[in-house]
Amino acid sequence: MISPIDGGVTAPRGFRAAGVACGIKASGAPDLALIVSAAPASAAAVFTTNLAVAAPVIVSREHLDANQGRVRAIVTNSGCANACTGDAGLRVAQLMTAEVARALGCEAEEVLVASTGVIGVALDPRKVSDGIITAVEALTASGGADAARAIMTTDPFPKSFAVRVETKRGTFHVGGMAKGSGMIEPMLATMLGYVTCDAAIAPGLLRRALVDACDVTFNAITVDGECSTNDCVFALANGASGVEIEDDEYELLVEALRAVCLELALGIVRGGEGATKLVAVHVTGARTYDEAKLAARAIANSLLVKTAIHGADPNWGRLIAVAGRCGADFHLAGARVIIGDIVLFEQGRPFDERAPQAAEYLTRDRLEITVDLGVGGPEDATIWTCDLSAEYVRINADYRT
């Protein structure tokens, strides 16, 4: 059985966290987070597929290769992406892991690093070094909320969640936190995700479960169709609960990871820059899952669809047009569009007399849109997105200035 609990990344046993201000953000808001496991933890990660990759992603990849999936800590700064900063940026990312390792008495390769913020800006090594010292001193078993605030950039609210999982072998816990509001379309948005677990899980099994969980959560959201230079999702499992997860409990592990990741992923979309509505785009009737997901993502990323949703305009023609051009197999004669539970187009026939009812439904802040591709296939997929407002334009037009 899986049930929600409080605590975020520090809900699982054996984890401490902190969030502090080290002066990267001019506002003085918290901008450095640290998560530490009391014992070396199995580790796994999924990284951005963007080829313009940030320095901390390079360092974290190298450390995971070097440490055979055993990690003590993850350090993160916000307010500066440390991306496109050359060798100097790489040295700062390495310095961050070395400073944490020195404080904890472990190897630098046992520390992972992440950054988020403006691309192309140098990260001040003195500020992050001082911040790490402060964060180590501030570590507590109740510090998950502080860490979740410290990783925010344009996020309107912190995102954290945790669950208790009861199994025949005992009880373990999964916690998580995430940041992201704009530049969101993970392709494994600027997005960072962290998952902690107090079960004992082999690194290979943990990575397989993380990939499976991300596929229908972090990799099934979009705010603006933009893949960041810094996207990472990390998972740590330290075994502090005494429960060991093996192949026979794999599905339960994935379900638990998925429960945490989905709550965090939906929080990212709800907090999307300028967003006023959370939208689930369901595509049905596809020949393959990949085609269903392709069509759902295309609809979710359509500027015309997203602006129509913002204006509560039940323009089913925009949905049909995207489905027809997305590259998935599509038959217009069998296609169907449903907004909420209101059928607006089916088997070549529009039902525009239902438009006022659909328009009323679209004024809600949580919506469901379904498009059937009309080919009679068995597969379906869901992508979560948000509306596109003038506020999104304002935020991003002024982001650097």
CA-based Rg of the chain, rounded to a whole angstrom?
22
**86-104 vs 55-66: helix axis angle to the nearest 10?**
50
Are 128 and 32 within 8 A, CB to CB?
Answer: yes
Reported in sequence order, the residue ranges of 198-348 that DSSP labels E, i.e. its strands, are 232-237, 278-286, 336-339, 342-346
Contacts of 97 (CB under 8 A, 6+ apart): 59, 63, 75, 108, 109, 111, 112, 113
Are 107 and 74 within 8 A, CB to CB?
Answer: no
Measured between alpha carbons, how far is 217 from 255 in angstroms, rounded to an integer?
11
3-state secondary structure of 169: coil
208-213 LR contacts (CB < 8 Å, sep 24+) = 208/250, 209/44, 209/235, 209/250, 209/253, 209/254, 209/257, 210/44, 210/45, 210/46, 210/235, 210/257, 211/46, 212/254, 212/257, 212/258, 213/254, 213/257, 213/258, 213/261
> Is 363 one of the catalytic residues?
no
Measured between alpha carbons, how far is 289 from 280 in angstroms, rounded to an integer?
17
Identified catalytic residue from 10, 153, 154, 190: 190
- The residue type of 31 is D
Beta carbons within 10 angstroms of residue 4's beta carbon: 12
User: Looking at the DSSP assignment, which residues form a beta bridge with residue 389?
Assistant: none
DSSP structure string for 21-38: --SSSTT----EEEEEEE
Q: Return the H-helix or E-strand segment holding 322.
A: helix 316-325
- Kindly state the tokens that stand for 377: 């296939």
Active site residues: 190
